[in-house]
Structure 1
């Protein structure tokens, strides 16, 4: 009887999923995301692959889903991806970012050409080749772009469906090594190739961190490679030994800076009274000063200031954390030490710097790029003075500019739908490619004109993650039957070919980084991870070197790779179908 109830409930569930496919999509997301985040000895399957496999399993029960549904979600994913990296992408096309941009572009183009050569040699069909390129390079966006290009081919519907079913097969077979294998290669083989051993590269990276921590001035030498992790507020009783016959606030701050202590004097108590101060305010022994700055600068500052005291009232004043978007041309290329020396920046501490969503190690020689996001800490009046120097204060709140979002997608898809002919060959960017390009442009436009077009980071994350994973879920649900057939036919061949396509461009990348572009080994490994369009190798390299320095090479390379590889989804379909 119990078995009968189980069978009845299962049949009811399948019937319900078939009647309401939206439930099947949500179930696929739930199961796939959970599976993809399970850690087994540090390895995860990845949420994209987890959702794809969950969709394939559930899809064996023939869940009907309108094809246009996945396209809508994929457009959200592409536009928000472009929006998020737009400022960094266009910045990479300028002088400072050109070496990393050129490096990444060369690696990605070589990967595309190698994919074409392997596919031609092994007689892969169009769909298999597109999924092969996508999985080996861990670029999920290729799936959607290539699918749209296949739909536009002048071939029969049966052949289109066959090609479309091949894409998730090749992607699933090659993606695992594309992620795990490349992470292992760059974190284990990479240090050996670049420096002879991991230990030697760690030593070279530490030397680079030390160099970055040197300000270069006779009176400004400081070792603050980790100085921007936390901000501290403390009170000190100035002594005769430390203040002498008296110094102004600016003079004392200069003395502290010359000793490697980037600290600001914010408030003063004299004879029991709180006194407002300016940089030229004279300080005397017996004054109690409220000091702010990086925690490592404040620790052990007693010999330079005096005895630390617990003055609750003096330290009770409002400070704010603000997020600032760097866009002012005046400070683009500024080193942090130069920014600290600017009078407009007095009293401000930097808590964190992120670039294209990646936290960048901070040091006096870290330079600012357009689109950088700084987390600043300070008193409101100081922040109001400093923010215009950098750019603009990022809006807060959850409201997304829907007109800007939807309008950008409309413009991009309309442009992508246009067809040009090169000789007898019709070329089309496709709606997906157009949406990505529109995202880049509208993201850059937002950075240049920040009064409109706000899409909160949380909204970007949701639209990007949900857009991609819903798309992948529907791909799995609608490609289940073809997946199992294709896996039996070409599974082993695809897996071996995926190893070749994943590692060969990385071997080339290491060679280019060391001998042609001559990047610092740690920065070069970060650039290799970026050229692979995947954050997992970056994290593996950073963990191996115990340093965030590789992130300096990752962001520009990633921005260029993301665009180049996504666009290659269109190109590989054209290459594989031309002349057939």
Structure 2
């Protein structure tokens, strides 16, 4: 039975590949105290185990999945990458560039010091930096060196061995250093720093919510003693220092009328008003009676995700947006930003950027009136512009083909690098011109997760036979060198982020997590702070580092 099973896998390697991912994925998603080994590491290890059966899979299979994965990376980080380089995130972008340069330099120095070959050195860089995409570009770069097939296979095997041995601490190390050691090293009380930041940004001492976020709909009857009688709806809604509130309808003499800005309130009116609980209590504290008018309360409320694309909204704070006509009568409940869709705290001074996804609620007609001014409704969750997507992949690959020979070394962006930049261009273009190249988040997730894991599975199965020999050759020293390559740039990032770039104490740890592309670290920081403020420092460094570390896979091979 066993012989039949092994023979079947050798004759049909596709079965071995799918079996590898099926076994590895649940292991990689298992978490202990918020820490997970990750699906990439487990897929590689299971692939290496399956590879002991000497199963041969064409590299062309791997490259197809890898190109889909690279395009997905570029598409996701495109808006933040362009904004970080060109606009207000310049300091955070520069910070990420410096951290990536130190990571590459540390890996290169250690590889030279330890006397590692190109394969081990490139794998050390990719694993210690948890740059799975760099592994693919290093593989492509090694295969482009023109060495004999046996030597190429041996070098790719060494690459996979080094990646597998260093990736584990590469994943866990930044989590421990940034979230646990970082606050002590930098003398930061993260929770207090986030509360102080929220206060400076106009938030309250009760958390990051504002009247944009916590809203209710109530109905009140106005008595003769009410200070609101005789005022117009517009005057009340625009009152200085008043919490954000909106009048919807009025019952007057048994008739229900719409509340316009020019409507003057009268004694006996029953009004329906939306706003924060505290704001409504203060507004209707005297001369009014809360009543239960079911007709006025039966207002259909819709929730819609809106992608910000209009320049008029780009760079505006929530306070500024609250006084713009298009936001009248709608409430903001969520802001998502960046490649990983991180939640951004809703604070009066929070700045909105093009590409942000705003979740707004309110009456359907008011939302419809606001969408055109803000951007576009994010309803397109099931239609993929397949033609545009594959054309961009093909165009990027063609751009990456040409090579320049310098000192006998071919310098090229490579097909993979070209596809990465094509994805960045497509993602940015989509955020600015929403009619172009839609790829829904679910499809991007599939290309990202499945594409990468199938690629890593092929690498692991192919490198399986040489893995044991590689471990015997380099021993535990490779793991220890990997710890050094992970630790040095991470500690360096903490120190320069605090003392050179002088990021706010509430943001500096998020910036370090982004520069290290460690999403798990950001999650622990948010839990420790009890706030989403660290995410404000995460998105731009993440986009820059994700791109530069990927390209580093080619650079490290060239340097070595």
TM range (shorter): over 0.9
Q: How does 1:103-502 map to 2 (within 5 A)?
A: 103-194=95-186, 196-197=187-188, 200-213=189-202, 225-227=208-210, 228-229=212-213, 231-255=215-239, 258-259=241-242, 261-293=243-275, 303=285, 306-356=288-338, 357-422=341-406, 424-502=408-486
Contact 1:21 1:64 in 2 (8 A): yes
Kindly state the Cα deviation for residue 96 of structure 1 after the two structures are TM-superposed: 1.2
Cα root mean square deviation, aligned: 2.1
Q: Distance in 1 between matches of 2:132 and 2:76?
A: 17
How many pairs align? 557
Could you say if the C-alpha distance between residues 522 and 490 of structure 1 is closer, same or farther in structure 2, counting changes exceeding 3 Å? Answer: farther
Contact 1:97 1:556 in 2 (8 A): yes
Kindly state the Cα deviation for residue 307 of structure 1 after the two structures are TM-superposed: 3.7
Kindly state the Cα deviation for residue 126 of structure 1 after the two structures are TM-superposed: 1.1
Q: Distance in 2 between matches of 1:506 and 1:249?
A: 55
Could you say if the C-alpha distance between residues 172 and 286 of structure 1 is closer, same or farther in structure 2, counting changes exceeding 3 Å? Answer: farther
- For structure 2, the residue ranges without an aligned partner over 5 or more in a row are none
Kindly state the Cα deviation for residue 207 of structure 1 after the two structures are TM-superposed: 0.9
Q: Distance in 1 between matches of 2:81 and 2:468?
A: 39
- Give the TM-score taking structure 2 as reference length: 0.95
Kindly state the Cα deviation for residue 182 of structure 1 after the two structures are TM-superposed: 1.1
Could you say if the C-alpha distance between residues 240 and 50 of structure 1 is closer, same or farther in structure 2, counting changes exceeding 3 Å? Answer: farther
Partner residue in 2 for 1:3: none
Moved more, 14-23 or 336-345: 14-23
Kindly state the Cα deviation for residue 241 of structure 1 after the two structures are TM-superposed: 4.1
Contact 2:208 2:531 in 1 (8 A): no
Contact 2:213 2:331 in 1 (8 A): no
Partner residue in 1 for 2:36: 44
Kindly state the Cα deviation for residue 515 of structure 1 after the two structures are TM-superposed: 1.4
Report SS of the residue matched to 1:279: coil
- TM-superposition CA deviations, 1:453-486 (whole Å, max 9, x none): 1111111111111111111111111111112221
- Give the TM-score taking structure 1 as reference length: 0.91
Could you say if the C-alpha distance between residues 362 and 491 of structure 1 is closer, same or farther in structure 2, counting changes exceeding 3 Å? Answer: farther
Q: Distance in 2 between matches of 1:498 and 1:160?
A: 23
Q: Distance in 2 between matches of 1:26 and 1:48?
A: 14
Report SS of the residue matched to 2:294: coil
Could you say if the C-alpha distance between residues 530 and 396 of structure 1 is closer, same or farther in structure 2, counting changes exceeding 3 Å? Answer: same
Q: Distance in 1 between matches of 2:487 and 2:507?
A: 19
Q: How does 1:27-38 map to 2 (within 5 A)?
A: 27-38=19-30
- For structure 1, the residue ranges without an aligned partner over 5 or more in a row are 1-7, 215-220
* Among 493, 502, 516, the residue aligned to 2:500: 516
Moved more, 277-286 or 367-376: 277-286
Could you say if the C-alpha distance between residues 309 and 532 of structure 1 is closer, same or farther in structure 2, counting changes exceeding 3 Å? Answer: same
Moved more, 400-409 or 387-396: 387-396
Contact 1:532 1:561 in 2 (8 A): yes
Q: Distance in 1 between matches of 2:224 and 2:117?
A: 83
Partner residue in 2 for 1:78: 70
Contact 2:197 2:506 in 1 (8 A): no
Could you say if the C-alpha distance between residues 397 and 207 of structure 1 is closer, same or farther in structure 2, counting changes exceeding 3 Å? Answer: closer
- TM-superposition CA deviations, 1:417-476 (whole Å, max 9, x none): 111244654211111111101000111112222112111111111111111111111111
Q: Distance in 2 between matches of 1:290 and 1:534?
A: 46
Kindly state the Cα deviation for residue 278 of structure 1 after the two structures are TM-superposed: 1.2
